[in-house]
Amino acid sequence: MRRFLFILVLLSIGGGIAWRLYTAAPAKNMMPLGKPPIAVELDKAIQGDIDDVAEFTGTLAGEAEVLVSPKISGRVEKIRVDLGDEVAAGQSLASLDDVEARNAVEEANAKLAVARASLEECETNLTTAQSELERIRTLREKKVAAPSELENAEANVSTLLARKKVSQATIEQQEAALRAAQARLSYTQITAPIAGFVGKRFLDEGAMVSPSTPIVSLAEMATVKTIISVVERDYAKIKLGLKAMLAVDAYPGKVFEGHVSRIAPVLNADTRTAEVEIEIPNSNLLLKPGMFTRVRIHFGTHRGVALIPLRALVKRESQQGVFIPAEKNTKARFLPIEPGIASADVVEASGIEIGQPVIVMGQHLLNDGDGIVSDASAGK
């Protein structure tokens, strides 16, 4: 009985092992499944010319823009300009209440007059004292006048000379005070520091202002400018006088020509960019400060270089390149290249031969060695 059970157990174990081997083995006539070939489209590398053009954005500003504020505090009595008015340099823009300033000028004039009168009186007394001193000296030589008389006369002249110096200093002091009062009076008239247009009016007549309160803003618009940020790669190409073409949304299809007028000598350490100023003539005043602008700068043209369709460019493992057909257009091979200048459709490609077919559709699904299906005549 025990022998029978032992044989039964062995048969069960053997049957289990056989069943596992049977189910693990591939069925007859069954092939392992692989990655199917990918349908692709081909084009060719061509020889041609490509422009080295960079595009930037910026905001237009006037050649000069200033906020006009008074130099003193006071109440605005009159504003003579309004939004959009054209003004000349030195033109009166507004005036403050000048009653106190005028009174200060009159007071300074009066004090100056008193000081001048005091000097005249002192000079008259000094002339008289000097004559008296000469007379007493003559008498003293004749032994007629006493020594004390001569000493008193000399002391009187010395005193009057000192008073004359004080009077002259007082006059200088009062003249300075008058100039200060006159300057303060002139500050009640606010004039335009530059020629231009009134960009904004900040307040109305009757308002109280201080030296930090702007009354109007002015913008010189015969020439406008914009600041662009140039990346390190393009910085060496930027030169003073380099032509720049600008477009603004206000005038679709219209191009304005400017030039590089200033270049920052240092780059921003955080952004690795440098500020470059573009200056644009604006005699017709079409361009307005604050407009958003797109700037194109033409650095030059690369001639007779290899060009490939921009869409062919891919990146694999941090390496840029293209996929090319191999093994009679049945396999895709990754070809590393160094892309250069790019336009909307093509890119300069260093490391590829003229006429080399490249994959321009389906390439994003490929890895090196993948099977492909293509029209062999594509790109011809």
Q: What is the pLDDT of residue 321?
A: 92
Q: What is the pLDDT of residue 3?
A: 58
What does the alpha-carbon distance between residue 42 and residue 312 come to, in Å, rounded to a whole number? Answer: 9
The answer to whether 273 touches 267, Cβ cutoff 8 Å, is: yes
Summarised one tens digit per residue, pLDDT across range 299-327 is 888 899 999 999 999 999 889 999 999 99
Beta-bridge partner residues of 59: 292
Cα distances (Å, whole numbers) of residue 2 to 6, 8, 16: 6, 10, 22
Q: What is the pLDDT of residue 9?
A: 47
Burial class of residue 295 (count of CB atoms within 10 Å of its CB; 0-12, 13-18, 19+): buried
| Helix pair 147-186, 99-141: axis angle to 10 deg | 160
The answer to whether 296 touches 54, Cβ cutoff 8 Å, is: yes
Q: What is the pLDDT of residue 12?
A: 60
Buried b (16+ CB within 10 A) or exposed e, 179-199: eebeebbebbebebebbbbbb
In CATH, what class is 70-97+188-214? mainly beta
What does the alpha-carbon distance between residue 58 and residue 278 come to, in Å, rounded to a whole number? Answer: 10
Q: What is the pLDDT of residue 358?
A: 93
Q: What is the pLDDT of residue 27?
A: 44
pLDDT per residue, tens digit, the chain (380 aa), is: 555 544 554 556 555 555 454 455 444 444 345 678 999 999 999 999 998 888 999 999 999 999 999 999 999 999 999 999 999 999 999 999 999 999 999 999 999 999 999 999 999 988 898 888 888 888 878 777 788 888 888 898 899 899 989 999 999 999 999 999 999 999 999 999 999 999 999 999 999 999 989 999 999 999 999 999 999 988 999 999 999 999 999 999 999 999 999 999 999 999 999 999 999 999 899 999 999 999 999 888 889 999 999 999 999 988 999 999 999 889 999 999 989 888 889 999 988 999 999 999 999 999 999 999 986 544 44
Q: What is the pLDDT of residue 318?
A: 86
Write out the DSSP string of 173-237.
HHHHHHHHHHHHHHTTEEE-SSSEEEEEE---TT-EE-TT---EEEEEEEEEEEEEEEEHHHHTT
What does the alpha-carbon distance between residue 187 and residue 224 come to, in Å, rounded to a whole number? Answer: 30
Mean pLDDT taken over the chain: 87
Task: Return the SS3 of 288.
Answer: coil
Q: What is the 3-state secondary structure (H, E, C) of 71-128?
A: CCCEEEEEECCCCCCEECCCCEEEEECCHHHHHHHHHHHHHHHHHHHHHHHHHHHHHH
Summarised one tens digit per residue, pLDDT across range 202-235 is 999 999 999 989 999 999 999 999 999 999 988 9
Superfamily classification of domain 218-302:
Efflux pump adaptor protein, beta barrel domain (2.40.30.170)
Q: What is the pLDDT of residue 343?
A: 84
Cα distances (Å, whole numbers) of residue 333 to 15, 232, 313, 319, 371: 50, 34, 13, 14, 10
The answer to whether 55 touches 295, Cβ cutoff 8 Å, is: yes
Cα distances (Å, whole numbers) of residue 131 to 120, 126, 174: 17, 9, 31
Q: What is the pLDDT of residue 29?
A: 41
Summarised one tens digit per residue, pLDDT across range 106-149 is 999 999 999 999 999 999 988 898 888 888 888 878 777 788 88
pTM recorded for the entire structure = 0.63
What does the alpha-carbon distance between residue 279 and residue 260 come to, in Å, rounded to a whole number? Answer: 6
Task: Return the SS3 of 341.
Answer: strand
For residue 375, report the phi and psi dihedrals to the nearest 5 degrees: -85, 110
Burial class of residue 380 (count of CB atoms within 10 Å of its CB; 0-12, 13-18, 19+): exposed
Q: What is the pLDDT of residue 379?
A: 44
38-50+304-374, CATH topology level: 2.40.420
With a CB cutoff of 8 Å and minimum separation 6, the contacts of 231 are 272, 273
Provide the residue ranges of all domains of the chain, joining segments of one domain with +: 38-50+304-374, 70-97+188-214, 99-187, 218-302
CATH-assigned architecture of domain 99-187: Orthogonal Bundle (1.10)
What does the alpha-carbon distance between residue 305 and residue 243 come to, in Å, rounded to a whole number? Answer: 24
